[in-house]
């Protein structure tokens, strides 16, 4: 029983990181129908920026607060470039453009931080075990789970009860009608894009103590983020949450019981969803 609880908690911690990454990806697609393939680059960039901040400032928590802000500066510049290919009927241009940006971000991180594997130490306040009944478990993954829950609740409340959330839902549902009614859809898309960048960077740094920083991490996380979004349904934040939970738990239990097929299991589930429910588990629901 202790073993199953251990695997479950590991899966939930991983799911929390995937949700932070995929929720922004899903929001950007939902509002602007833009499949942002540079999104994994912001995950990795957040990890590297956080690594440098910890080295310079020596404070994990201050770095955690600064990483999204630093990523926003880079994200604003990149968003201005991506906005050149906004618009209906430009899906291929958007895919190629953002995929090219992903390579640029990858090369820039390699230029500034090198190709060696880097890691961030767990903060001392969370570098201890926690007793959960019969199980003794590290505190840091529990922090990741708690952060994922808080971000999910914050996104839900923001989308439901704020003017920004109302604009996002209007732009995602009927963009042309929303624009005709005075909703600034371009500005909404820009704010949504920056929110997604901040969340991806936050995930990259928060995940750095458990997932080492190395070249190629951006494309690995991008693929996982896309799987989460496809499983949950493109454009649905709630779907991203369900998709992240599914991928995180399948990955964790797969590594525990079928380690040689753990990656294949994730792709198998995605294939089954695409065959029997191509719109995703919660496609159309936001």
Segment 7-61, tens digit of pLDDT: 999 999 999 999 999 998 888 887 777 788 889 999 999 999 999 999 999 999 9
Please indicate, yes or no, if residue 281 is contained in any of the structural domains.
Answer: no
User: Can you tell me the distance from the alpha carbon of 160 to that of 183, in angstroms, rounded to the nearest whole number?
Assistant: 16
Three-class DSSP labels, 204-265:
HHHCCCCCCECCCHHHHHHHHHHHHHHHHCCCCHHHHHHHHHHHHHHHHHHHHHCHHHHHHH
Please indicate, yes or no, if residue 199 is contained in any of the structural domains.
Answer: yes
Please indicate, yes or no, if residue 286 is contained in any of the structural domains.
Answer: no
Compute the average pLDDT of residues 196-224.
94
Compute the average pLDDT of residues 104-127.
93
Please indicate, yes or no, if residue 171 is contained in any of the structural domains.
Answer: yes
The crossing angle, in degrees rounded to 10, of helices 217-232 and 39-57 is 130
Please indicate, yes or no, if residue 192 is contained in any of the structural domains.
Answer: yes
Compute the average pLDDT of residues 241-264.
92
CB 42 within 8 A of CB 197: yes
Domain tally, the chain: 1
Phi, psi of 78 (to 5 degrees): -65, -40
Please indicate, yes or no, if residue 284 is contained in any of the structural domains.
Answer: no
The alpha carbons of the chain give a radius of gyration, in whole angstroms, of 19
Cβ-Cβ contacts under 8 Å for 9 (sequence gap 6 or more): 137, 141, 142, 145
User: Can you tell me the distance from the alpha carbon of 136 to that of 240, in angstroms, rounded to the nearest whole number?
Assistant: 30
Structure tokens at 75: 């994200």
Strand 135-138 with 129-132, pairing: antiparallel
CATH number of the domain to which 150 belongs: 1.10.3470
Please indicate, yes or no, if residue 44 is contained in any of the structural domains.
Answer: yes
Segment 150-203, tens digit of pLDDT: 999 999 999 889 998 888 888 877 777 777 888 888 888 889 999 999 999 999
At residue 254, the pLDDT reads 94
Can you spell out the DSSP letters for 269-284?
HHHHHHHH-TT-TTTT
Segment 76-88, tens digit of pLDDT: 998 888 888 877 7
Task: Residue 143: name the closest of 52, 19, 9 by CA.
Answer: 9
Please indicate, yes or no, if residue 244 is contained in any of the structural domains.
Answer: yes
pTM of the model: 0.91
Can you spell out the DSSP letters for 81-124?
HHGGG-STT-HHHHHHHHHHHHHHHHHHHHHHH-SS-B--PPPG
**Backbone φ/ψ region at 94: left (φ over 0), alpha (ψ -120 to 50), beta:** alpha
User: 53 is in which domain, residue-wise?
Assistant: 1-276
User: Can you tell me the distance from the alpha carbon of 208 to that of 122, in angstroms, rounded to the nearest whole number?
Assistant: 9
At residue 184, the pLDDT reads 85
């Amino acid at each position: 029983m202790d073993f199953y609880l251990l695997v479950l908690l590991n899966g939930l911690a991983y799911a929390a990181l995937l949700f932070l990454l995929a929720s922004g990806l899903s929001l950007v697609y939902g509002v602007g129908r833009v499949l942002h393939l540079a999104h994994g680059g912001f995950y990795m960039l957040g990890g590297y920026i956080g690594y440098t901040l910890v080295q310079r400032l020596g404070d994990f928590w201050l770095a955690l607060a600064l990483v999204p802000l630093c990523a926003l500066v880079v994200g604003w510049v990149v968003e201005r470039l991506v906005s050149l290919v906004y618009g209906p009927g430009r899906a291929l241009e958007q895919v190629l453009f953002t995929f090219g940006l992903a390579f640029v971000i990858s090369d820039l991180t390699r230029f500034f931080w090198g190709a060696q594997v880097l890691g961030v130490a767990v903060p001392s306040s969370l570098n201890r075990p926690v007793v959960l009944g019969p199980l003794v478990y590290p505190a840091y993954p529990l922090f990741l789970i708690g952060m994922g829950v808080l971000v999910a609740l914050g996104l839900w409340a923001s989308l439901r009860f704020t003017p920004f959330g109302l604009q996002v839902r209007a732009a995602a549902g009927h963009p042309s009608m929303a624009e005709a009614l005075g909703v600034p859809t371009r500005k909404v898309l820009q704010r949504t894009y920056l929110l997604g960048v901040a969340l991806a960077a936050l995930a990259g740094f928060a995940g750095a103590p458990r997932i080492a920083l190395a070249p190629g991490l951006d494309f690995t996380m991008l693929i996982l983020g896309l799987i989460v979004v496809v499983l949950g349904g493109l454009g649905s934040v709630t779907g991203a949450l369900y998709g992240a939970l599914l991928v995180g738990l399948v990955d964790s239990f797969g590594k525990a019981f079928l380690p040689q097929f753990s990656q294949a299991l994730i792709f198998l589930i995605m294939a089954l969803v695409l065959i029997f429910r191509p719109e995703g588990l919660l496609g159309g629901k936001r």
